[in-house]
Amino acid sequence: MCYKIAEDPKRVRYPTLNQDRCLPTFDASCLHNVEVIVLRVSTVRFKQHEFAYRTIDYPIYEPEDTNNILNEIDALTQLRRQPNMAQLVGLVISGNPYKTCPSTDMPVIMGLLLEYYPRVTSANHRGG
């Protein structure tokens, strides 16, 4: 019998938490799911507040998606407190879901926590 150990190149590569970003973090285990809005986006509750949670776990993941996620985090960070923009509240973090033994690895980013605007659509803003 023989076997080969190989890394799955299509697995989600969760980015590690970069402390330089100066963003609030929320442990994924502290969020309580309320409702799925669309694929990868749901409403969650944290300390009596409702937020939108967008996971980075894509059903069809490409390795370059990790860089796209980091670029999106940077863009949302730069646009914080700007009117008419989705407001990034913080990053949802967790231990690496792929680790197979205890370690002291840095937490990984599981998704984005955004302000939740119930029943708001682009038509509401256009006056329609």
pTM of the model: 0.76
d(CA 2, CA 97): 27
69 is written with which tokens?
A: 């996620």
d(CA 10, CA 8): 5
pLDDT for the residue 46: 94
Residue 97 near residue 111, CB atoms below 8 Å: no
pLDDT for the residue 128: 47
Which is nearest to 42 in space by CA: 96, 108, 128, 110? 110
Taking residues 108-120, what's their average pLDDT? Answer: 86
pLDDT at 93 over 60: yes
d(CA 45, CA 34): 7
Which CATH code for domain 24-117? 3.30.200.20
pLDDT for the residue 114: 94
Rg (CA), the chain: 17
d(CA 41, CA 18): 23
pLDDT for the residue 22: 81
Which residue would you say has higher pLDDT here, 18 or 46?
46
Residue 24 near residue 90, CB atoms below 8 Å: yes
pLDDT at 1 over 90: no
pLDDT tens per residue, range 29-85: 999 988 888 888 889 999 999 999 999 877 677 778 888 888 999 999 999 888 888
